[in-house]
Amino acid sequence: MSTTSLPFLPFVRPYVDEETIAGVINVLRSGWITTGPQNARFEAALSEYCGHRPVRAFNSGTCTIEIALRIAGIGPGDEVITTPLSWVSSSNMICEVGATPVFVDINPVTRNLDLDKLESAITSRSRAIIPVYLAGMPMDLDRLYALARTYQLRLIEDAAQALGSSWNGQRVGERGDFVSFSFHANKNITSIEGGALIMNHDHEAQLAQKYRLQGITRTGFDGMECDLLGGKYNLTDVAARVGLGSLARLDEITAQRRKLARAYFTYFSGGAAIAGGIELPPKDFINSNWHMFQIVLPLERIRIKRANFMAQMKERGIGTGVHYLPIHLFKLYQERGFKLGMFPHAERIGRAIVTLPLFPQMTIDDVSRVVQAVNEIIHHHQQ
């Protein structure tokens, strides 16, 4: 039961403006609601944003990883290096194509794959790296791509959370090899469900288009060919119209998220949570799009577990999330030989990480309320 009369504050809330809602109604009335002209407009807008690179939109940011792996020719006998602290989509897709995921522990500060440890994981079977930009924080892309070039590895950037992020003044998606975005309802922009794959040239885009819709290529009025095993991954025009409306506000959304993140650092400064040993995310207001604001609880210094902390936040009318549990400790991966103790940084942070509310409709007062609640709980349960 809530101990506050204030409205419940979720950790995320999607925003769809009235113009977009009206646009969706027009799509529904048009008679063309599956993949069509709105999808083409959305792809064109994304391509322009990403330096006019080839783009194809899909119904998730998970199938985009699978399709990138297939276009790269990765399959049984190949190894793909990735992070153990993420959602399971990328590692699952590595397994889906028959390749072997190779985890490398994270940097405890950035919480992304540790580049200092990555090179030692490369073997003669390594074919690709899938870095994941946790909470929208990109890695050192210059160093990452230099390493990939040295070992002739494909790079599939899992930038599901990083639309609006940049590295050294260049947008994520403008450079490099494959880049995968997600437009799930909890992302910075949304198409309700959806994703996009940024590629290098038209040949890859044509392959992606085949994989997107059952391997079919159409020519003329009645020409049709099927020359590969494709799936059913197309994005509807209804979803694309939502994505278009959201993409148009990306700069505004990113600016508001950075403003709220700054407020979090200000309100946490010198408080009970900091004194109690709580860990804040990297303080980056240039490169990160601030998809999430995550803290790491000092579990060794407080008398409650993470679930208890989250329950007490909920009692105060505040929602939280866990992003993420260590992938290698799930049953599917333990059956593949991964064990507790293999990636200590990912395990420690995975046990204690908590996502706090952060979305554009929030106010600075909302941030103050969240930090006050965190401070109260940490202070009350300190050992």
Tell me the torsion sign for CA atoms 368, 374, 377, 383. Answer: negative
Structure tokens at 47: 């391509």
Active site residue 210: no
Catalytic residue among 117, 187, 210, 232: 187
Contacts of 240 (CB under 8 A, 6+ apart): 35, 38, 39, 41, 42, 57, 191, 194
Backbone angles phi, psi at 106, to 5 degrees: -90, 160
The length of the chain in residues reads: 383
Per-state percent for the chain, helix, strand, coil, to nearest 5: 40, 15, 45
Q: Are 41 and 237 in contact (CB under 8 A)?
A: no
Structure tokens at 374: 């965190």
Q: Are 330 and 324 in contact (CB under 8 A)?
A: no
Q: Kindly give the interhelix angle for 89-96 and 63-71, rounded to the nearest 10 degrees.
A: 40
Q: What positions carry a catalytic annotation? A: 187
